[in-house]
Structure 1
Amino acid sequence: MIDLDWSPPAGGDVVLLPAGCQWDAVRTSTAIADAAFQILDGTENCAAIIDPRTGWVYWLLPPGALAEFAHWERLEQHVSLIAAGDGTHYVGVPPSHRRTGPGLHWRITGEWSGRYLAQPYYLGAVLTSAVVFAHGPEALPAQCELCERELEPAHAVTVHGRRGLADAAPRPLTVHPACARTARLRASSQEPRP
């Protein structure tokens, strides 16, 4: 289970805190964030940090969560991942009571869950939809329909198969060749290999 329990430090000023220790962060533009808020409000009522000076919006996630979710690599043209790694990256964190500008503040919905950390898998899926909403479907690279990782079209194969048990019938799938082999699917056949 993912631990979503974290609160900003007490005090009256913005504090610079290192990413990758108590949380990781995801940063995106206000255009993408506004599209994401339309989905998140009422479903994932976690807080977000708004920086009106730069036009960035940040969500904080449990530490290490960025490494576990395949969709982040597809979003890298539109979303910055801020975590532990080479060097230390800091994020300005406003005090919990600062919920309006001017300056750095928390965006809290009326139905706020009380959480400052977002659910990484849900946020990743929502940001994927928000990028498509804000910039169109061409804004994201293709995705393997089996492993869901980024797929270079020149190296893709089309096979017939099922993504999972929910697929009623085999259908064309665009996948990595290695994923097709693992799933025992062939491009020239509509049935799995024996």
Structure 2
Amino acid sequence: MGASAGAASEPAADMADLADVVRSLLAVQTYCDTRVRLGGGLFDVVITSAGAQARAAVALMDKIQDGCGPVIEDPDSGWLYWLAPPGSADRWAPHSHAVCLGAPHTITLPSLNRTAPPGPCWHRPPS
């Protein structure tokens, strides 16, 4: 009985990862840029150009879905980073206009109050 009680009182191996994720997301809420791992239970990212067609896609999603999901814009590189449901990268077919990345990649999330350049900013902040 003593051995099983000791094993049960030890944290699960993935709890340290969960704590890191929670700390990272709290940092974004407290207006700090923070780097997070893609995949897992959070999100994957679709990367597209930030041109007129991408902006039209955001507007169309706003209309059809009653709001587009979170999108980060990096005006220096000309990219949009669309936060997508976790596991999207596993189902993503090769495409000439976008790429979808999941684990083990990472992304730096801008602080929630950064909605304009300079640097990466929220084109559509998370709700």
TM-score range, shorter chain: 0.5 to 0.7
Match of 2:48 among 28, 42, 49: 28
Which whole-Å CA distance do the structure 2 matches of 1:94 and 1:27 have between them?
A: 16
More helix by share: 2
Alignment partner, residue 52 of structure 1: 75
Which whole-Å CA distance do the structure 1 matches of 2:45 and 2:126 have between them?
A: 19
The 5-angstrom pairing of residues 97-176 of structure 1 reads 97-108=113-124, 114=127
Alignment partner, residue 99 of structure 2: 80
Aligned 8 A contact 1:27 1:57 in 2: yes
Q: Residue 64 of structure 1 aligns to which amino acid in structure 2?
A: G
Which whole-Å CA distance do the structure 2 matches of 1:99 and 1:113 have between them?
A: 11
In the alignment of these two chains, the number of paired residues is: 99
- Rg (Cα) greater in structure: 1
Which whole-Å CA distance do the structure 1 matches of 2:78 and 2:85 have between them?
A: 23
Aligned 8 A contact 1:48 1:57 in 2: yes
TM-score by length of 1: 0.44
Distance 1:61 1:89, change over 3 A: same
Aligned 8 A contact 1:25 1:59 in 2: yes
How far the C-alpha of 1:59 sits from its partner, in A, is 1.0
Q: Residue 47 of structure 2 aligns to which amino acid in structure 1?
A: R
* Structure 1, unaligned runs of 5 or more: 1-6, 115-194
Alignment partner, residue 85 of structure 2: 62
Q: Residue 71 of structure 2 aligns to which amino acid in structure 1?
A: A
Which whole-Å CA distance do the structure 2 matches of 1:25 and 1:34 have between them?
A: 17
Higher relative contact order (CA 8 A, sep 6+): 2
Q: Residue 98 of structure 2 aligns to which amino acid in structure 1?
A: V
Q: Residue 101 of structure 2 aligns to which amino acid in structure 1?
A: I
How far the C-alpha of 1:80 sits from its partner, in A, is 1.1
Identity %: 31
Which whole-Å CA distance do the structure 1 matches of 2:72 and 2:35 have between them?
A: 13
Say what the alpha-carbon RMSD is for the aligned residues.
Answer: 2.6
Q: Residue 45 of structure 2 aligns to which amino acid in structure 1?
A: A
Aligned 8 A contact 2:44 2:101 in 1: yes
The residue matched to 2:76 in structure 1 has which SS? coil
Which whole-Å CA distance do the structure 1 matches of 2:39 and 2:85 have between them?
A: 9
